[in-house]
Copies of this chain bind each other. A is one copy, B any other.
Amino acid sequence: MFKPLDPLLHSQLRLAVMSLLIGVEEAEFTFLREKTESTAGNLSVQLDKLEKAGYIGIEKSFKGKRPLTTCKITKVGLKAFEEYVENLRNYIE
């Protein structure tokens, strides 16, 4: 009936990040920060967790002379997200 909800995704900010990443090829740190209206510190921590779980990939490079962090959802992440949503539906429908 109520399947457990992946604690990594059952978090407002991480869920928002995953939601954003599903719609795009890849996204920059600042883009995610603006869209989620989060602080940089919080976003940084949550991105780390998603990366460690293998849900997203993070690439660090430079845009001109400034550091650039680019995020991309992985197959594992996409699958986890879909399963989370599927499970969540039992709670809200």
Contacts and interface: CB of A to CB of B under 8 A. Distances in A.
A2 B92 contact: no
A: contact size bracket: 10 to 19
A90 to B, nearest CB: 8
Contacts of A92: 15, 19, 85, 88
Contacts of A12: 2, 4-5, 10
> How many monomers of this protein are in the complex?
2
Chain A interface secondary structure, helix, strand, loop or mixed?
helix
A1 B5 CA distance: 23
Nearest to A90: B19
Nearest to A92: B85
A25 interface: no
Contacts of A16: 2, 91
A52 to B, nearest CB: 21
A36 interface: yes
Nearest to A81: B92
